A and B are shown apart, each in its own frame.
Chain A
């Protein structure tokens, strides 16, 4: 094994682990905002109860997300020094912008969100929560921007000013709005919301199965299930389809690898499940005729370019990309079925609350949505290989030249052990929080004396501190 491969393994491992957490916090954040709005509108104490319960889970998810996220920001420099030298002018500025605009917003208001629940009125708590979620969404936006530049780079020129080739920015606007950015950010945000709402649904279904906190659990499902179902449909027919068209236009060899298409074909089929063998250039499985042509060009007879049209040393690992891509697609279809079925049972027959088999499926949904987002991300990243910056810089040779094989073995070992411990504890504490359940409802009007505007915060707090409390 080469040191480059070790660097890739480490980066892949750490970023995949990191990527478990931000989608959950983005989606749970959305649900928290809805709870907050309801609390302001109705004054019903159950909304505050739900908010205070989910904010605990949010804090747990968020803290692991931050800790593992710092690793990602440092690893470009530690493991990919030559990549960093090459793209610093462009990629670095997107990360720095993320730091100033997004992380600072999240980090600043997180304390208010997590610790302000018993000290703030509903409106001010909603404001703090909205700021944190806005920060997290902006963060996702800047990161997808940076990654989209690696997929479809533009707005740069390559010059050697004494430290080897470097990409210099010619237009910040073009760097930020690359052709793949729009479709990808919609696809990613929708995926994150699906993951987050599925966590809420999953916990609620568990309570229903155990006959605990039944009314609150029903409320959670009433809020999260419609969002989950609508997004699951939109994700397939709109955001996902749109993303596939973008890949067809911008990265045709990636699309060919995703579908295991070797010869350019009219009426190209799309596989539901299958196996592709790039050595013998064969793909077998169950497929729908002409669907790939239709999805790519909105014309069932259109010709889709196969991998043979490209040099073989520039092919991605088709057997891997094919599998992760189809895993995502199939799970995406499954989510429509799960969401649709649950909605039918709920609305049409009013039977969802005691259909145990359906509730068990809903409990498992969080695992499935996690696998779907991870495999989607893997499709994008494995599909980009052997390039780290699409058709500009190869992954091989972008690693840190001075870091040795044994150093990376050591750090991989360290991350595996550390992340295994962190994950075990995360799951055990998540389970503990879920088992403890939502806090007791506050007495009617208990939160009304809390400061609920900027002016009140100022007056209230200064009274407390001058009164000695």
Chain B
């Protein structure tokens, strides 16, 4: 059982890693049409994530692989159940990669503006779709006894899930803006710092609505928080991170603001995860069909091997991730190799 719980925690860590790292890439994509006024500025925004976005997206691949290995029944049920939505996610993921890679390879204004639009739309699409998926997972999905479900796209786009999606869009836009403060300068930076308080206000408003909505609607989560009072530290620290972020922005300490925003993302995800544990995917058909950390997990042999692999591999991953960020720190300079 401790193995299953460990993997649950590790899984939340991987998701948080993905949302924090690729989150600012997506945020930059969503903000780019509203910030950049000319081609150079667009390229600066694109190149702020240029050397790191590939590595960040690998966390999504890792998330897929780890889910397959640790909780194969969740991987199978969720991915097949959300079939059309998953296909759309893949569609926009490919488009986004292609947009980043191809945009600056030609001079033409139409070519570039087409890819700029796709870069924006795909970043927005990924964020919204993944947020909507999370919203549906929190609410529960119509799993049958064999773990199959049949949800069409309209079913996925329900009000609660859309609210989670909208909050994700606001959260990652804010996160992306915080990241950009470290990467750009001059007028572009002024535009970003003017935008940040507005993004914060929108995000706080949406977040508050979502919190209340969740507490009113999701009895299982409310009950879990009543039963295990200690997990209250996650929302509590999450709130502290939000307040700290606000304060840093007022004092114009944007690097600290970015760190606060990263902590906030991790703590919000932890708040949801702790409220759902031990359930991974609640079944809206019958609670007996819930996929949990015990019934949906691989056997202990696999989980042990995987844990050894993670313990060996993760320090390396963190080491060279940190190394690459260190090397490319500082403001963006466009050169021969830039996008």
Contacts and interface: CB of A to CB of B under 8 A. Distances in A.
Interface of A: 59-60, 63-64, 66-71, 73-74, 76-79, 81-82, 84-85, 87-93, 95-101, 103-112, 114-119, 131, 162-164, 166, 168-170, 172, 400-403, 407, 410-411, 414, 418, 422, 425, 429, 432, 439, 457, 461, 464-465, 469
A163 B298 contact: no
Nearest to A14: B90
Contacts of B320: 104-105, 108-109, 131
14 contacts: A67-B94, A74-B64, A81-B148, A88-B68, A88-B71, A88-B72, A96-B65, A97-B306, A97-B313, A104-B313, A108-B324, A110-B55, A169-B298, A402-B80
Closest 5 A/B residue pairs (Cβ): A88-B72, A77-B79, A111-B51, A92-B68, A100-B313
Contacts of B66: 96, 99
A68 B60 CA distance: 14
B324 A111 contact: yes
Interface residues of B, number: 78
Given A401-B148, A402-B80, A465-B329, A89 B298 contact: yes
A67 B95 CA distance: 9
Given A81-B77, A115-B338, A402 B149 contact: yes
Nearest to B56: A107
A74 B86 contact: yes
B289 to A, nearest CB: 11
Contacts, number: 253
A397 B303 CA distance: 27
Contact of B105 (A82, A110, A429): A429
Interface stretch (B96-104, B186-194, B252-260): B96-104
Question: For chain A, what secondary structure do more than half of its interface residues adopt (helix, strand, loop), or is it mixed?
Answer: helix
Given A109-B324, A407-B83, A88 B298 contact: yes
B61 A81 contact: no
Contacts of A101: 309, 313
A165 B150 CA distance: 22
B337 A403 contact: no
B233 interface: no
Interface in B296-339: 298-299, 301-302, 305-306, 309-310, 313-314, 316-317, 320-321, 323-324, 326-331, 333, 335-338
Contacts of B62: 96, 99-100, 103-104
A172 to B, nearest CB: 5
Given A168-B299, A402-B150, A461-B329, 20 more contacts: A67-B97, A70-B94, A76-B68, A78-B83, A84-B72, A89-B69, A92-B75, A93-B69, A99-B58, A103-B58, A104-B62, A104-B316, A104-B317, A108-B323, A110-B55, A114-B337, A168-B302, A407-B84, A411-B87, A429-B105
Contacts of A85: 72-73, 76, 147
B26 to A, nearest CB: 15
B97 to A, nearest CB: 4
Given A97-B309, A118-B337, A407-B84, A111 B328 contact: yes
Contacts of A106: 58
B206 interface: no
Residue of A59, A70, A84, A93 ringed by the most chain B CB atoms within 10 A: A93
A414 B98 CA distance: 16
Interface of B: 50-52, 54-58, 60-62, 64-73, 75-81, 83-84, 86-87, 89-91, 93-95, 97-98, 100-102, 105-106, 146-150, 295, 298-299, 301-302, 305-306, 309-310, 313-314, 316-317, 320-321, 323-324, 326-331, 333, 335-338
A414 B251 CA distance: 48
B317 A91 contact: no
A424 to B, nearest CB: 11
B109 to A, nearest CB: 17
Q: Which among B295, B305, B321 has the greatest number of chain A C-beta atoms within 10 A? A: B305
Contacts of A114: 51, 337
A215 B60 CA distance: 44
Contact of B65 (A64, A92, A400): A92
Contacts of B102: 425, 429
Contact of A169 (B58, B105, B302, B314): B302
Among A71, A97, A101, A425, residue most surrounded by chain B Cβ atoms (within 10 Å): A97
B91 A414 contact: yes
B50 A168 contact: no
Question: Which of B75, B80, B305, B338 lies at the interface centre, i.e. has the most chain A CB atoms within 10 A of its CB?
Answer: B80
Given A100-B317, A108-B324, A169-B301, A81 B80 contact: yes
Given A84-B72, A92-B68, A108 B321 contact: yes
A95 B54 CA distance: 18
B310 A84 contact: no
Contact of A88 (B69, B148, B323, B337): B69
A104 B58 contact: yes
Contacts of A76: 68, 75, 79
A63 B61 contact: no
Contacts of B97: 63-64, 66-67
Contacts of A79: 80
A118 B335 contact: yes
Contact of A93 (B55, B80, B295, B298): B298
Contacts of A69: 61
Contacts of B324: 108-109, 111-112
B94 A95 contact: no
A112 B51 contact: yes
Contact of A67 (B52, B68, B98, B327): B98
Contacts of B76: 77, 81-82, 84-85, 88, 400
Contact of A71 (B68, B70, B90, B330): B90
Contacts of A95: 64-65, 68-69
A107 B69 contact: no
A104 B63 CA distance: 12
A469 B330 contact: yes
Contacts of A112: 51, 324, 327
Given A66-B54, A67-B98, A88-B75, A96 B306 contact: yes
Contact of B94 (A162, A418, A465): A418
B298 A92 contact: yes
Looking at A100, A101, A469, the one whose CB has the most chain B CB atoms below 10 A away is A100
A257 B57 CA distance: 41
B94 A68 contact: yes
B100 to A, nearest CB: 8
Nearest to A439: B336
A70 B223 CA distance: 37
Contacts of A92: 65, 67-70, 72, 75, 298, 302
Contacts of B150: 402
Nearest to A90: B302
The listed residue with most A CB atoms (<10 A of its CB), out of B72, B94, B295, B302, is B72
Contacts of B100: 63
A108 B54 CA distance: 8
A108 B317 contact: yes
B86 A78 contact: yes
B330 A465 contact: yes
A77 B82 CA distance: 10
A162 B331 CA distance: 56
Nearest to A162: B295
